[in-house]
Structure 1
Amino acid sequence: MSPRRSLVTGLSETPNVTEQEKKFVFGSDDESMEPITESKLNAFAKIDNSQNTEEVLPQYRGRVPLTTRCDPKLASALKRASLKRQLEGLETCQIQEIIEEAVETWLKEHGYY
């Protein structure tokens, strides 16, 4: 296996590097490429206590991958429920949909959503 190297080293050793790739590694004057600062983070995470909701951070737009480990019995039951609901033609038959519905319910019950 070849030794690991940094992005900067890789760019210096790689010919035909585009400007966009250089901006990604070295940073840019372009505002869209700037790192998120504490003040920007606070601006995105304004909390409205009357509705108990938060604005979504820009990196969390659309679907966000979330991985976790669970008990094998739970995973089997979840897969079985998904397949059974799919065969019966019921709505909410995908594992992702079932998990989202269950987690959302839990978060609402405990005041987080």
Structure 2
Amino acid sequence: MNDINHFIGNDLVLSPTGDLSPVNGIDRGKQRVLRRLLTNPGDYLFHPDYGAGLGRFVGAVINIPQIVGLIRGQMALEECVARNPAPTITVSSSPDGTLAVGIAYTDAPSGEPTTLYFDVS
């Protein structure tokens, strides 16, 4: 199944003919994981429990184990993330309050190891 090619925070991607570009495979999974982790709970009217809301931790007192647990729980809800082996998650914070997140997981549909790195500021 295809989704619209859109990394959260960026513009929609257009096809060479000017249509909305579809995304599938590993990139689809990465986009879905990133969208879930950055969406605030309650932002989707009909899915009030969707999202981790990582942005709320920026500039706050950071509890790394809490954030890792939140990410792990949200990733378990994504069908594109294989259950075994479990994802490896690293979170660090900088003095300016930015969070750096690194996730290594196996893409369930393809069985390929996948990494996702992003900052939350």
Q: Settle same-fold status: TM greater than 0.5.
A: no
Quick one: higher RCO (CA 8 Å, sep 6+), 1 or 2? 2
Computing the radius of gyration from Cα coordinates, the structure with the larger value is 1
State the TM-score, normalizing by the size of structure 2.
0.25
Whichever structure has more helix as a proportion of its residues is 1
